Amino acid sequence: MRNRLVLLLFIVISQLAEAQNTSGFSSMEVNHVSAKTPGLFAGRKSIYLNLDSLSRDYAFPLPGGKVISGYGTRGGHSGDDIKTRANDTIRAVCDGVVRMAKLYGAYGNVIVVRHPNGLETVYSHNSRNLIKSGDVVKTGQAIALTGRTGRATTEHIHFETRINGKHFNPGLLFNMQDRTLQKGFLKCTQTASGIVVKPLNSKEVPTKVKPLNLSLYKLTPILKPVWDDV
């Protein structure tokens, strides 16, 4: 009898949690930093992100910020730590939908934004999140304030870039010294051990790969990205 009551309570709590999630994302997507993007690869081995298509409309996540701990340091750092001052404004890198915004373990207050081209950006240790899961954000929009929530020793932003839940070097997206967008394409390939991201210039990209037209993609969390055949 007791086991049945525990099971019933678990089911009720699960249903309430789902009812409160009105963002359109799954429970996994709303509650975990590492979550796959449904339909992103759609049976394909590789996809290509056209950085040049973003060159006129992007923002550095922490304008004026300096990297104090880089990707891959300290035994496998999953992003770049960028610092200015406490409660400075953190901005969305480009248009997207907020997949996750909550307190999350060592990340502290974290935000994950899913962008139309399949890229996800992560902003964490925030003193305060200014948006919630399901919100549509625009390039440069204020989304959080820098802090030291979670496992952090100073106020900063821990910034990650991810594809299908796997992190890769943010330096492939941004020149971290001058805070500008890199040029060319990023080839993202699925392997047995994860995702391999490789920068390419336009001449190295197969001619049959067409740039994704961002204006054709409606920023809703339940719409699967449509990719050209690769």
* 158-206 pLDDT, tens digit each: 999 999 999 999 999 999 999 999 999 999 999 998 999 999 998 888 8
Q: Is the pLDDT assigned to residue 67 strictly greater than 90?
A: yes
Is the pLDDT higher at 23 or at 229? 23
CA 100/CA 94 separation, integer angstroms: 16
Tokens matching residue 123: 């902003």
Q: Which residue has the tokens 């309430």?
A: 16
User: What does the alpha-carbon distance between residue 145 and residue 147 come to, in Å, rounded to a whole number?
Assistant: 6
Domain ranges of the chain: 27-216
The secondary structure of residue 54, as a DSSP letter, is G
- 15 token code pair: 């249903």
Q: Which of 225, 194, 193, 195 is nearest to 212 (CA)?
A: 225
Closest CA to 121 of 47, 181, 52, 46: 181
Reference 78, options 125, 137, 131; nearest CA is 125
Q: Which residue has the tokens 């975990």?
A: 32
Count of CA atoms in the C-beta half-sphere (13 A) of 61:
31
pLDDT reported for residue 203: 87
How do beta strands 174-175 and 119-126 pair? unpaired
Place of tokens 């992100």: 49
CATH superfamily ID and name for 27-216:
Glucose Permease (Domain IIA) (2.70.70.10)
pLDDT in tens, 112-133: 999 988 899 999 999 999 999 9
What length is written for the chain? 230
Nearest to 218 by CA among 81, 96, 36: 96
Instruction: Give me the percent of the chain exceeding a pLDDT of 90.
Output: 64
Dist CA 180 CA 59 (whole Å): 8
Backbone conformation region of residue 108, classed left if phi is above 0, alpha if psi is from -120 to 50, else beta:
left
| Listed residue (207, 208, 215, 212) closest to 226, CA to CA | 212
Q: What is the mean pLDDT of residues 58-63?
A: 97
pLDDT for 47 beyond 50: yes
